[in-house]
Structures are given as C-alpha cells and as structure tokens.
C-alpha cells in the first residue's frame, strides 16, 4: 500500500484530501508546510508527494527542489487554487511534478492524478 505525503497549509484541505486518499486505501502522512515535509522526507519512506504550491515556511516549489536532492525517485503531484498568468502549476511541472491539480478538484480527479503519478515512477518497487 503506497504512502502519500500531503502538504498543504490549509487544515481543511489536508483533512479532505486525507479522507479521500485513506478511503481509497492509501496510507497518508500530513504536513502543514514545506519545511516540515522536507524533514519528513529525510526520515521516512514516501511513495508520492502531493503538495500545494503556495505555503509559508517553504512553498511547494521548494519542496519539489528539495525532493530532487533527497529522494529523486518519488513522484510529485502539485496542486494550487491560483490560476491565470501567475499560475505556478506550469513551473511545478517544469521542475519535475508529473501531475498537477487545480483546486478545487473532485475525488475522481485526485485519484486519477495519484494513480497516474504512482504509475509514472521510474522504479515502482522503491519504498513499498
């Protein structure tokens, strides 16, 4: 059963995403900011990172950057509610996120992105 790290500064978003993923059978770890997420990545095996872009104490782009250094085999799904010219989802994709989600997203959209990201892992046997 894959372990997914969900990073978002919104407690309600964390709770909602955790519920959807747990219901689908995934193990879920939660962090409210990128700084605590990076610490967790250094100490625990994670199969997928699902990160918000805009957060205090290290944003999602910093998490993606650190992930490349700490655990480059772990895929990332970036999510954001900010759209338009300043949207950072395209930047996240350029930096290595294999999937992006625009908030609000449906349960089906979340699970589709997670399944696609887990299927895109270079080495699917890592940390299972």
Cα 14 to Cα 21: distance, rounded to the nearest angstrom: 11
For the whole model, what pTM was predicted?
0.90
Cα 7 to Cα 50: distance, rounded to the nearest angstrom: 6
pLDDT tens profile 65-124: 999 999 999 999 999 987 665 579 999 999 999 999 999 999 999 999 999 999 965 433
């Amino acid at each position: 059963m894959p372990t997914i790290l969900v990073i978002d500064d919104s407690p309600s978003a964390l709770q909602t995403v955790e519920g959807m993923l747990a219901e689908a059978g995934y193990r879920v770890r939660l962090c409210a900011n990128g700084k605590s997420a990076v610490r967790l990545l250094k100490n625990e095996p994670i199969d997928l990172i699902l990160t918000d872009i805009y957060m205090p104490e290290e944003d999602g782009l910093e998490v993606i950057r650190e992930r490349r250094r700490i655990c480059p085999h772990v895929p990332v799904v970036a999510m954001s509610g900010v759209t338009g010219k300043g949207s950072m989802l395209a930047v996240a994709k350029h930096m290595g996120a294999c999937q992006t989600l625009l908030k609000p997203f449906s349960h089906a959209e979340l699970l589709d992105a997670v399944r696609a990201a887990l299927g895109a892992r270079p080495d699917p046997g890592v940390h299972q």
